[in-house]
Structures are given as structure tokens and as C-alpha cells.
Amino acid sequence: MTNETAPAVFADAVTIRYGSKVAVDNGTLSVARGSVYALLGRNGAGKSSLVRTLLGQQPASAGTIRLFGEDVWTHRATLMERVGIVPEDADAPPDMRVDKLTRFWSSLYARWDVTLFNERLERFHIAPRTKFGDLSKGQKKQVMLALSLATSPELLLLDDPTLGLDVVARKSLFEEVIAELADRGITVLITTHDLGGVETIADRVGVMHDGRLVLDEELETLKSRFRRVRFAARPVALANGSNVRAWGSGSEVVVSNFPEWNEPADAVEVSPMSLEEIFIAVTGEEA
């Protein structure tokens, strides 16, 4: 496989340790070029450690990580020219004006697109001379998104980009990403707790739980094999040992192999599940 045909992101048997603590345990994933990959997990699942390692900010304890076919730790300086990043915390000196922040940012990237940036800033109704510290939380995220996209990235990494945003700001951010995907076909890797929002754009989903990648598959395939099945009575004895819980005076079970599952005659309701419902079923009911 050449660098031109290699996945945008490839992690093979990656383990990340901090002393005796294992943050990521033997994780393997692949993000195809031009796709949207959603990396999900509860707090402490290992997402942040994996993302930092994917960006070459820290080395893996074991395993290999490549961006566009090149080792991220060895070639980080050149690879970061091809990556746009919207961090979880939109941070910049509070007294720095947006236009000065822009001049600094543009000096770091050879493929800076000033027209694209200015158009997006105008669409966000953000004045260039506004101090960064005077922006709302949503506006700060919008500035970071505009900065990242203006670098003409081949890979856009969004680290929980909608955290703390209201519903209007979340909708605006996802619409910008969707528009960019349609216009340029860039690759997107997103970590998020906004499962409803990401469900509309993700091609593939990975779920981390206690440091392990416990699920990694196409979103449509994932949704096709999960069903919630309800019964009028309880308890229900199922041959596959699925977890059964109370549902009013009856009971319900989550089935993860629906296409091959033999539906009991006493089932009263079989319904598809949202990505959020599947996530809770996979990572724990208390999520």
C-alpha cells in the first residue's frame, strides 16, 4: 500500500501507559480517506490519550500510528501541515484580537486560505477586531473551526467540539462540517458526547470502554444489528443469555445480532435503536 492509498489514520495494536496505568490497551483502528469516523467513549475511557498519540503529541508505549501512510512520531512536523484541529477547549490569549490571532495562525501554514477564513468569520458574525476573551464559548469554537479549515486540511480532528454549546451553536458547527465535507471531501475524526449530532454525519463508529476499543464498524451496519425487544411478561429466559431488565409490568432486552436472531413468539415490540441507545447498551446502563 502506497502513501497515496493508505488510510488517513491507521493505528495498529496501540498501547498507551502512564506508569502502571494502561490508558489504551491494544487499540487498532483505520479511518478511510474522505470518511467521518466518530470515536466515542465515556470520560476516562482512553479517547484523549489516543487522540494525543494520533497527533504525535506523545509516543505510544507499543504499536504503530500512521497518518497518510507515514509514522506520526517520526514525521509529525510535516504531517501536521495536513491536519486541522479543533480542541475541546478553545484557548488563546484573552487579550489577543481575532485578526492578530489569524495573522499568527496563517504564518504557520503554507496552504492558508484567507478568503475562506474571512467568509466563514463573516458568516459567524464575528468582528475581526474582537478580543478572543470577549467571545462567547460558541464563538470561540467557531473561530477555532474557521482557523482549522482555512489551513486546507486533508484531515480534520474535532475533539468534543460541541461540549458546552447550546443547541443552536451545536447545529451551526455540524452544518459547517457537513458543508466542508461536501465541498472538499476531507477526512474527519471526531470525539464527542453529542451522539445525536454525530449520528447524522458519521460513516463509521468506534467505541472505547476502559481503554479498549470494544466496537468498530460502519454506522449503518451497527444500527442494523441492534434492536430493543419488549415482552409483556417477566422474567424472560433467552437462550443467548442476553441481559433482561424490567419494562413496566413486562421486560425488555437489547439484541446485538438482530439479523440472525430468532425472535420469540411472545415478543410484543421490536424497535430500532439510536446511536445513543446503542452506546449506553455497550458501555453500561449508568452512562
Q: Which CA distances in Å does 236 have to 79, 108, 245, 256, 281?
A: 54, 62, 9, 17, 18
Q: Are 53 and 1 in contact (CB under 8 A)?
A: no
Three-state SS for 111-161 is CCCHHHHHHHHHHCCCCCCCEHHHCCHHHHHHHHHHHHHHCCCCEEEEECC
User: What pLDDT tens digit does each residue of the chain (287 aa) get?
Assistant: 667 789 999 999 999 999 999 999 999 999 999 999 999 998 889 999 999 999 999 999 999 999 999 999 999 999 999 999 998 888 899 999 999 999 999 998 989 999 999 998 998 899 999 999 999 988 998 899 999 999 999 999 999 888 878 888 888 888 877 777 767 789 999 998 889 888 988 999 999 999 999 999 999 999 999 998 888 876 555 544 456 666 666 788 888 888 777 777 677 888 999 999 999 988 875 43
- pLDDT of 241 reads 45
Pick one of 1.10.599.10, 3.40.50.300, 3.90.950.10, 2.60.40.2250 as the CATH number of 9-96+153-217: 3.40.50.300
Cα separation, 233 vs 253, in Å, equals 12
- Where are the domains positioned within the chain? 9-96+153-217, 226-283
- What cell numbers appear for 38 in the block? 466518530
